[in-house]
Amino acid sequence: MRMHQESDISASVPDWSRETVSRFWDPGPKLIRSVRRYQACRARGPLGRMRAKYWVMVHWFWTLMTQSELHLNTQIGGGLRLTHPTGIIIHPEAVIGPNCMIFHQVTFAGPVILGGHVDVGAGAKLIGPLTVGDHAVIGANAVVTRDVPAGATVAGVPARVISKAP
């Protein structure tokens, strides 16, 4: 039981180093940074809203470069990693928990809620409304139409649980 409690804590504490921009051409972290800075500026009143317009332009540039749609008002927990941020489409009402990893060509169609430390494989489609529990793994090209329990691995079309964490 103690090990389960520690994993719950690690799922909720964001690892901000996962979002660090490490080189000039680093589209994933730069796309996430533009969303975070936009949201921070919008919360700072009229002057902040004027500064937010700059981050809208930066977001537009990285959206164009990655051909991804990560809306400016999406709720994102810390430590999101977009390993290959090409063709990712996130519904504006989606909620992404801390320390998640989303690969290329992933689509969140509808209000999808990801728990902490969820890995979503390349080409996966999550058709909401649905909730994915902490430490779940979504296989590549899976089509998820139902809730995924915490610690489960799902794969296939439609996605089925293929393993569960003890």
Task: Please say if the pLDDT value at position 10 is more than 60.
Answer: no
The full set of domain ranges for the chain reads: 2-164
Listing DSSP states for the chain in one string gives -HHHHHHHHHHHS--GGGG---SSS-HHHHHHHHHHHHHHHHTTHHHHHHHHHHHHHHHHHHHHHHT-EE-TT-EE-TT-EESS-SS-EE-TT-EE-TT-EE-TT-EEES-EEE-TT-EE-TT-EEESSEEE-TT-EE-TT-EE-S-B-TTEEEETTTTEEEEE--
Q: What is the pTM of this model?
A: 0.86
Q: What percent of the chain has pLDDT over 90?
A: 75
For position 6, what pLDDT does the model report?
A: 45
Q: 2-164 belongs to which CATH class?
A: mainly beta
